[in-house]
A and B are shown apart, each in its own frame.
Chain A
Amino acid sequence: MKKIVSLIVFVLSMGALSAQDLLPNVQIKDLKGQDIPSVSLIDSNALTVVSFWATWCKPCRQELEAISDDWEDFQKTGARLIAVSIDDSRSTGSVQSIANASGWEFNIYLDDNQNLKRALNISAIPYAIVLDKQGKIIRRIQGYNPGEEVELFSFLNTNKQ
């Protein structure tokens, strides 16, 4: 027990030291199965919202649909939205099809063995991060309640520059 308490204290102290961090560079895939480095998600001209979801995750799809419903408002923030699916080989084949039928206009990538999710220490989805133009994580959003997209848009507008 002492070991784990020590580690918790150590982790929390390290967390306090590194409140801002960089997107880890691990391999994810595009919808054609091509490996790409996660750092290629960074846009040097705009903020990037990376939202982790799966076809079987109801609140994840609610979040993406809420943003999609207010797509014009999202675009006004000047940010990019990237949805990273953690579907594994059971359901990767239906990711594109479900995105299509949902009318989503943003880019989708696959993290089928959860390399990026693990590197970001994410334990459950929905989970979103906001990257600045240098790839620094400037916000983490765990879970989703309806209406939280309004707060996200406000954050993106405030941090445009």
Chain B
Amino acid sequence: MSFFLLKRKQSCLFIIFSILSLTIFAQDTSHFYSLNHFGGGIETQHQYYFSNSGSGIVLPQKRYASNSYVTLNYNYKKIIAGVQAEAFLPALQGYTKYTPDYKTKVDITHYYAGFRSTKFDVTVGTFYDQFGNGLIFRSYEDRQLGIDNTIRGVHIRANPFKNLQVKAFYGQQRYYFEYSDGKIGGADADLLIYHKQDAQHPITLKAGGSLLFINQDSLAYTDIQHNKNVTAWAGRIQFSAGNYLLNAEYMHHSPVAYVPSYIFQPGSALLVSQSYHFNNGLGINLDFRRLELAALKADYGIDDINNNLNYLPSLTKQHTWLVSSIYPAVCENKHEIGGQLGINYLFKKGTSLGGKYGTSVFINGSLYKDLFYSNFNPGESFKAKFIDFGGQKQYSDINVTIEKKLSKTVKGTLAFISQYNLQQGAYAVKTKIVATDFLFKLNTKSALRTELQHMWNQLEEKNWAAALAEYSYGKFSFFATDLTDYQTSKTHYYNLGGSYSANAQRFMLSFSKQRAGLLCVGGVCRFVPSYMGFTLGYTYNF
């Protein structure tokens, strides 16, 4: 078959495998490790579902589902290439947008080749990148959330001078098994303005700027005002002096039409982060953020987390307790103002509060409010004051975590969390959580970890409780968790299973009853329906 008759994806793969086949056999065995490197990985997860009428859990259309990812990366000297194949047979519950018709889908989703050196690299095919803090652009993969907004196109990075780095790209964003209609171009520069290398008081000042261009000529909006070309710019500074660090970035974009609100106007995002750590074990970090219609999308006709071009996570503490996942912080990305303060301190060994082994205390507080005084009407534009804390409270969280090694074999954690979470602008859920975690080292090979958690809540499903027990022996681990709304439906959401890890391989088998709700990672959330069934997982990488 003529090369020119091949489709674009096949052409890319043909080029990549041509490079691979040439380089595999061109290796100089005496310098094998300095010339060639193959790396890859397999991640596969399979589920088999059961119905549970008592809990309202219904069977999905297919009893069996699986998600699998196979990755292969290769480099020969400075030449790089790689592919990733994905199989959804069909997709697991919660990932059904990958196979909405419940049919199987197998495809090669990533393919790239290029050149990479310390001063310059170029990639043709699929790639990920982030400009600054991600306020203007971030492409990344999070398999737990089912997010992969890789860009397919051309990407260049260069360091023309010692203190300057520039990046540029052009391409289309992945949207499940398709690519966005919108074409995206971006450029970014990062300049080191001042750097004083001093052991006692090092000082660094950096500045950066980014541009992003989105063209949606192919989209056909008929009922709303629409600007087919969207431009965005961002500027940032980063300053550090001794133990102090300041990181600030501002992004602004031209008017866009937001679906489903149908608002047509520009937007912006401002992030100011500061931190300071004292040499006595005290560390403080303070973040401020203001968002005004800040979401940038490759296709403004779709409202989906897989369609975001920039990264605007909830700037709150990411809790890991089971009960704290019931009402997670969700950043609306549209109009909020607020921030968070973290104070962390180590009471050192030998002090009255530190005891024999020391005590760590982590305190965090966050508060976010609606940027505007009143709600907007569809189709109407509006103006917001730049700094205005008079809006409706959206979310607040005050939490304290104390971690202490109690003896050579016992470690304990005690956490208290108080949250306020406005649900869809309608009513507030106020919760109080107390949770404990104890780790008992039984001997050099085995350990038992237990968690007890309780959440007080006046509304909706009222109080919740959870417990966890995890026993590990060498490379084996067995776990049992239970989460229950013991005052209302009294349903038990459990997870029983075990895992085995051996170097780069890990097997996992579990049986669980999953509660319907939001699964959140990094403040980005995805809805997962309820299900009951077996899960078998395997990962291997090299």
Contacts and interface: CB of A to CB of B under 8 A. Distances in A.
B275 A97 contact: yes
B247 interface: yes
B503 to A, nearest CB: 6
Contact of B247 (A3, A33, A98, A114): A33
A124 B104 contact: no
Given A34-B204, A139-B503, A147 B472 contact: yes
Given A22-B33, A103-B346, A88 B441 contact: no
B390 interface: no
Contacts of A11: 40-42, 70-72
A140 B542 contact: yes
Interface stretch (B137-145, B168-176, B223-231): B137-145
Interface stretch (B309-317, B481-489, B525-533): B309-317
Given A139-B503, A142-B503, A145-B477, A123 B283 contact: no
Nearest to A62: B439
A145 B472 contact: yes
A51 B318 CA distance: 21
Contacts of B506: 124, 142-143
A112 B37 contact: no
A21 B38 contact: yes
B315 A100 contact: no
B93 interface: no
Contacts of A89: 133-134, 271, 311, 313
A159 interface: no
Interface of A: 1, 3-4, 7-8, 10-12, 14-15, 17-22, 24-26, 31-35, 37, 55-56, 58, 62, 65, 69, 88-94, 96-98, 100-103, 112-115, 118-124, 134, 136, 139-143, 145-148, 150
Contact of B36 (A18, A96, A124, A140): A18
Quick one: which of A17, A32, A139, A140 has the most chain B CB within 10 A?
A: A32
A45 to B, nearest CB: 19
Contacts of B38: 14-15, 17-18, 21
Contacts, number: 233
B70 A97 contact: no
A88 B128 contact: no
Contact of A97 (B344, B357, B411, B439): B344
Contacts of B314: 90
Contact of A118 (B42, B141, B192): B141
B517 interface: no
Interface residues of B, number: 104
B50 to A, nearest CB: 25
A39 to B, nearest CB: 8
A101 B134 contact: no
Interface string B63-87: 0000011111111000000010101
A72 B131 CA distance: 40
B86 to A, nearest CB: 8
Interface string B422-449: 0000000000000001010101111101
A90 B41 contact: no
B118 A147 contact: no
Quick one: which of B68, B315, B346, B542 has the most chain A CB within 10 A?
A: B542
B281 interface: yes
A11 B108 CA distance: 14
A123 B190 CA distance: 29
B259 interface: no
A22 B89 CA distance: 34
